[in-house]
């Protein structure tokens, strides 16, 4: 599937792309009709890459090409093309582990940093659906399967130590993408940084308080170290609701270019954080009080079901016969051994939950004070109303990060969120 | 320095070795005189490799060649030659970070899995000196410098995340050596395994109790997972007193073929465990009661000084201006920030100490019930007397591993050891 190693990189504009695709018989078959009749539209709305949708007489494909810089910022912020290689590696591994939950790869070209995938239609970015107040009945089951399968089967519970080390090494080169996370999530929002922004002037005092909050700085630094030095499993690395495409009946996880071996809680926390932000943003999108109450209830229920479903599926995989080098079954023989191992599994999940709570908080704060915001909040036009929603999310996040032990169960998170639904922050300005 | 990649591996016996060395002008100069007059003696007493001492008219060298199998066991247990490559990588990195504390490498040949080093003379293996009751006044300062420098400067406190990932990847291929540790230290002593042995029949009941002790199995499994999935720093990986050569005024750490990115506490714990075993073995070597009291006091004092010295030097490096991506100084500005960061440093060291205590316990138990024993105990000829010494060490180790929190400071470890000095176990048989 990988071709064209000898080619050199060039940005494929529409004309080049048409020629490129027309030269791949497999893709010509998928698209159908004459290449000259294919429609090609650039649709990339992410921060990093070019994305084209190409449609022919028979079918369509999505084409993603990495740019040698961060699209959101421009050529002043270079970023290695190799991320397309790691994304391809991750996509193929995820397809094996969670079949049907990631887009199929039709073609990949490392030199061009280009990947052609099945066109997901009529899927939409989940975040947009959440802003519109749409509920997704398949989401919990699909995303928990995706996380449980991809995380468990790339962990020490499923792999030999040698396989695990090979996996870590295979993704070690993706450090430029990790650094974006290290800087933008774990560092910049907590200090003066040129790229930070927030809903000013309303959150000025909150932003200043974060910069002076040393308990929070210790907490975020511990999470950063965990992100850098805990290769627990092959994580997606950017599992927010903008990386998930949905219909009423299907879910696809896309864009794993941040993939590497990191802490599992970073992925699970990303999903929870983005649901919690959808919850807090919801009040900003309602046109009449209570209008979105059913949606909001579904979101919080989904937060609980995501953790509970993930934990159950992960534990079931572990119980079903773990083949990894960690916790060897031979040390837990007999009834007493089985009982002790089961208790240890619960302890393991409790630790993973605490990580999840901390990472969810980190993912929330970066979206409100860092460089990259999300449209859940950004589309609330009235800045004061937006700031009120954001302040609620920040208040919860600060507690989750600094007093993680006060959230021993997922119901503690949703309970705290519910209590903050109508909390009125004192705003600046 | 690396030569002969095109050569193919062959075991160099004395004649081949003489020719090989004679063909390297640099080594001919070091040795001096006519190659035919060089004395060549095989002295390897370790478990894995061939080691030759070669002496010429001017000087001497030590030559280490990896065998494609475990020397202790034979050809039935193959082991990759690549370990010589990782040992060379580690030796050169350690030489940069802790100059003067590792042997100088004069020549390395990856294809032959062969390394020529300076001859350490009149250094002896520290373990032998300890058995003889010798005190080493330089040891504490040197070994704590070695550990603080090599561990700190390869950690996230000193490296960027990208440098760290590159380091991890560079050693990821050394997984066969890691697996020896995973099996022989973290698994086999706790289950029925063909290669286990102990001082029978006296320790039969103790061995059986270990195999049924589920709290211990949970503790060793947590340590094993930490060993496999916590790449904190480039660790030596086998830092026992048989890997340290000493004179009254010099210390050299040798044999880092188990090196990889792992938990720092594994190295520090190895040093402490081997000192504690020397302490407990001492009673078995005394010919008259109290004869070795001064030595034993020095050993326990050394245990304390090793931890305290390591911790102080490690903290000093951190305070002196850490350049790594972890705990960025910019998040701890001002007086309040500096105070909070200093408190966090203490918390970090407390966690590292707990790891150290656990790993020290694991290193002790494997030497008494696993495949590879140490001569501290083995040279106690009377098996009953040996078992009594070993039982004291095991009793301390079991407590350190299962009730680690009961040992918050190094004085708790030495205090417990002192109390067990004359403890009489109930022996089997």
Domains of chain A plus CATH, in order, are 14-118 (3.30.200.20), 124-419 (3.90.1200.10)
| Minimum-distance CB partner of A179 among B162, B330, B331 | B162
Reported as a single tens digit per residue, the pLDDT across B195-204 is 999 999 999 9
| Minimum-distance CB partner of A326 among B214, B224, B336 | B224
Nearest chain B residue (CA) to A217 = B331
- pLDDT of B414 higher than 90: yes
The answer to whether the beta carbons of residues B227 and B263 sit under 8 Å apart is yes
Reported as a single tens digit per residue, the pLDDT across B120-146 is 999 999 999 999 999 999 999 999 999
Chain A closest-CA separation from residue B162 CA (Å): 5
Reported as a single tens digit per residue, the pLDDT across B5-52 is 457 999 999 999 999 999 999 999 999 999 999 999 999 877 789 999
Instruction: Show the tokens assigned to B347.
Output: 């918390």
| Minimum-distance CB partner of A214 among B166, B179, B337 | B337
The answer to whether the beta carbons of residues A168 and B172 sit under 8 Å apart is yes
The answer to whether the beta carbons of residues B352 and B264 sit under 8 Å apart is yes
The answer to whether the beta carbons of residues B132 and B142 sit under 8 Å apart is no
Cβ within 8 Å of residue B185, ≥6 positions away: B362, B363, B366, B370
CB pair distance less than 8 Å for B326 and A215:
no
Instruction: Show the tokens assigned to A71.
Output: 């699209």
Q: Enumerate helices (H) and strands (E) in chain A, giving the number of each.
A: 15, 12
Q: What pLDDT shows up at residue B4?
A: 45
Nearest chain A residue (CA) to B211 = A331
Spell out the alpha helix ranges (H) of A160-288. 161-171, 175-184, 204-212, 214-229, 264-285
In degrees rounded to 5, what are phi and psi of residue A52? -115, 140
ipTM of the complex: 0.96
Task: Show residues of chain B in contact with A330, CB under 8 Å.
Answer: 187, 191
CB pair distance less than 8 Å for A232 and B231:
no
Q: What pLDDT shows up at residue B258?
A: 98
- Residue of B171, B186, B229, B332 to mutate for A, most A C-beta atoms under 10 A: B229
| Minimum-distance CB partner of B336 among A164, A214, A225 | A214
Chain A closest-CA separation from residue B133 CA (Å): 38
Complete edge-to-edge strand list for the sheet that includes strand B251-253: B124-125, B244-246, B251-253
Reported as a single tens digit per residue, the pLDDT across B362-401 is 999 999 999 999 999 999 999 999 999 999 999 999 999 9
What is residue A54's DSSP assignment? E
Instruction: Show the tokens assigned to A221.
Output: 């630094």
Task: Show residues of chain A in contact with B176, CB under 8 Å.
Answer: 162
Q: Across all residues in chain B, what is the average pLDDT?
A: 96
Q: What pLDDT shows up at residue A1?
A: 44
CB pair distance less than 8 Å for B162 and A176:
yes
- pLDDT of B344 higher than 70: yes
Chain B closest-CA separation from residue A207 CA (Å): 14
Q: What is the pLDDT along chain A (429 residues), one digit of tens a residue?
A: 444 445 799 999 999 999 999 999 999 999 999 999 999 999 987 778 999 999 999 999 999 999 999 888 889 989 999 999 999 999 999 999 999 999 999 999 999 999 999 999 999 999 999 999 999 999 999 999 999 999 999 999 999 999 999 999 999 999 999 999 999 999 999 999 999 999 999 999 999 999 999 999 999 999 999 999 999 999 999 999 999 999 999 999 999 999 999 999 999 999 999 999 999 999 999 999 999 999 999 999 999 999 999 999 999 999 997 899 999 999 999 999 999 999 999 999 999 999 999 999 999 999 999 999 999 999 999 999 999 999 999 999 999 999 999 999 999 999 999 999 999 999 998
- Residue of B83, B156, B172 to mutate for A, most A C-beta atoms under 10 A: B172
The partner residues of A74 in beta bridges, in order of sequence, read A70
- pLDDT of B3 higher than 70: no
* SS3 track for B154-191: CCCCCCCHHHHHHHHHHHHHHHHHHHHHHHHCCCHHHC
Nearest chain B residue (CA) to A336 = B214
Count of CA atoms in the C-beta half-sphere (13 A) of B188: 21
Cβ within 8 Å of residue B44, ≥6 positions away: B50, B51, B52, B64, B71
Chain B closest-CA separation from residue A101 CA (Å): 28
Instruction: Show the tokens assigned to B380.
Output: 């106690």
Strands A69-70 and A124-125: unpaired
Nearest chain B residue (CA) to A161 = B228
Reported as a single tens digit per residue, the pLDDT across B197-238 is 999 999 999 999 999 999 999 999 999 999 999 999 999 999
Cβ within 8 Å of residue B341, ≥6 positions away: A218, B327, B329, B332
Q: What pLDDT shows up at residue A426?
A: 92
CB pair distance less than 8 Å for A168 and B166:
no
Chain A closest-CA separation from residue B328 CA (Å): 8
Reported as a single tens digit per residue, the pLDDT across B320-333 is 978 999 999 999 99
| Minimum-distance CB partner of B330 among A191, A327, A344 | A191
CB atoms within 10 A of CB B251: 22
Task: Show residues of chain A in contact with B212, CB under 8 Å.
Answer: 336
pTM: 0.97
- By C-alpha distance, which of A253, A248, A187 is closest to A219? A187
Residue that is written with structure tokens 């094996």 in the block: A96
Instruction: Give the rounded percent of residues in chain A with a pLDDT score beyond 90.
Output: 94
A3-7, B92-96, B285-289: range with lowest mean pLDDT: A3-7
CB pair distance less than 8 Å for A225 and B326:
yes
| Minimum-distance CB partner of B175 among A156, A161, A328 | A161
Three-point CA angle B316, B319, B324, nearest 5°: 110
First CA to last CA across chain A, in angstroms? Answer: 57
Instruction: Show the tokens assigned to B411.
Output: 């004085």
Nearest chain B residue (CA) to A262 = B229
- Residue of A217, A223, A329, A342 to mutate for B, most B C-beta atoms under 10 A: A217
CB pair distance less than 8 Å for A168 and B172:
yes
Q: Which residues of B touch A (CB under 8 A)?
A: 156, 161-162, 164-166, 168-169, 172-173, 175-176, 178-179, 182, 187, 190-191, 212, 214-215, 217-218, 220-221, 224-225, 228-232, 325-328, 330-333, 336-337, 340-341, 344
Instruction: Show the tokens assigned to A229.
Output: 């030095």
The answer to whether the beta carbons of residues A155 and A165 sit under 8 Å apart is no
Q: What pLDDT shows up at residue A177?
A: 97
- 3-state SS class at A115: strand
Distance CA A375, CA A285 (A): 11
| Minimum-distance CB partner of B326 among A228, A332, A340 | A228
Task: Show residues of chain B in contact with A215, CB under 8 Å.
Answer: 340
């Amino acid at each position: 599937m990988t071709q064209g190693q000898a080619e050199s990189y060039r940005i494929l504009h529409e004309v080049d792309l048409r020629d490129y695709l027309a030269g791949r018989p497999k893709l010509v078959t998928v698209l159908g009709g004459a290449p000259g009749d294919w429609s090609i539209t650039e649709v990339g709305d992410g921060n990093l890459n070019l994305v084209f949708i190409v449609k022919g007489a028979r079918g369509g494909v999505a084409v993603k090409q990495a740019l040698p810089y961060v699209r959101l910022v421009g050529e002043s912020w270079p970023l290695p093309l190799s991320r397309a290689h790691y994304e391809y590696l991750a996509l193929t591994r995820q397809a094996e582990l969670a079949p049907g939950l990631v887009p199929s790869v039709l073609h990949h070209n490392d030199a061009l940093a280009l990947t052609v995938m099945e066109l997901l239609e009529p899927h939409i970015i989940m975040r947009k659906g959440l802003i519109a107040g749409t509920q997704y009945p398949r989401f919990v089951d699909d995303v928990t399967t995706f996380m449980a399968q991809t995380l468990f089967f790339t962990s020490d519970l499923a792999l030999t130590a040698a396989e695990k080390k090979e996996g870590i090494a295979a993704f070690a080169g993706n450090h430029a993408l990790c650094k974006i996370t290290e800087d933008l999530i774990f560092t910049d929002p907590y200090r003066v940084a040129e790229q930070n922004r927030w809903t000013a002037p309303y959150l000025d005092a909150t932003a200043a308080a974060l910069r002076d909050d040393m308990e929070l700085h210790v907490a975020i630094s511990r999470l950063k170290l965990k992100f850098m030095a805990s290769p627990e499993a092959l994580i997606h690395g950017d599992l927010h609701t903008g990386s998930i495409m949905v219909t009423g009946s299907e879910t696809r996880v896309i864009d794993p270019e941040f993939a590497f071996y990191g802490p599992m809680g970073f992925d699970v926390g990303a999903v929870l954080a983005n649901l919690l932000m959808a919850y807090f943003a919801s009040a900003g999108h309602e046109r009449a009080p209570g209008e979105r109450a059913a949606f909001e209830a579904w979101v919080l229920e989904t937060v609980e079901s995501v953790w509970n479903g993930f934990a159950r599926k992960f534990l079931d995989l572990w119980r079903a016969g773990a083949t990894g080098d960690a916790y060897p079954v031979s040390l837990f023989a007999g009834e007493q051994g089985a009982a002790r191992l089961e208790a240890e599994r619960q302890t393991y999940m409790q630790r993973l939950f605490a990580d999840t709570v901390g990472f969810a908080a980190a993912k929330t704060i970066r979206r409100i004070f860092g460089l990259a915001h999300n449209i859940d909040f950004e589309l609330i036009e009235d800045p004061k109303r937006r700031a009120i929603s954001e302040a609620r999310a920040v208040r919860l996040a600060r507690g989750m990060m600094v007093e993680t032990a006060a959230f021993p169960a997922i119901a503690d998170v949703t309970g705290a969120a519910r209590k903050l639904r109508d909390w009125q922050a004192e705003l600046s300005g």
